[in-house]
Amino acid sequence: MTANQGNQSTTGVYEVTIAGIPLKLKSGQDPEMVKKLISFVDKMIQEALPATKSGSVQNAALLAALNLAEELFELKAEALNQLDKFEKKAQRALNELEPSAKPPRTGLDN
């Protein structure tokens, strides 16, 4: 992966190869993050290639995208589940800390 700085100081232009296909990418991410992302995507496609009957990189890219989407949905569902559990625990703790509510006083109870 080679990086050429673009006109903007926060955007880099990167010449990369994913699954043997050369690409030029623009990214505002730092070069190390771009390198990690490219490596991850390339690995996902390489792992998906054997599952395609034709050995097509395009099919492998689609399969890798579906695998990533599935993982994303599962992680989001788990994160929401954990957040819900945390909110319930926090509410229980708050309820324990609050003094118990006293019944409203009437005019004759003074």
For the stretch 29-79, pLDDT in tens is 999 999 999 999 999 999 999 999 888 999 999 999 999 999 999 999 999
- Confidence at 10, pLDDT banded by 50, 70, 90: confident
- Cα–Cα dist 18/6, whole Å: 21
Q: What is the pLDDT of residue 107?
A: 66
Is 54 or 99 the better-scoring residue by pLDDT? Answer: 54
At residue 5 the predicted structure's pLDDT band, cuts being 50, 70 and 90, is: very low
Structure tokens at 30: 């730092």
**What are phi and psi for residue 11, nearest 5 degrees?**
-110, 130
- The Cα 81–Cα 103 span in angstroms is 36
Position 34, amino acid:
V
Is this structure's pTM higher than 0.85?
no
Which has the closest alpha carbon to 15: 25, 6, 7, 29? 25
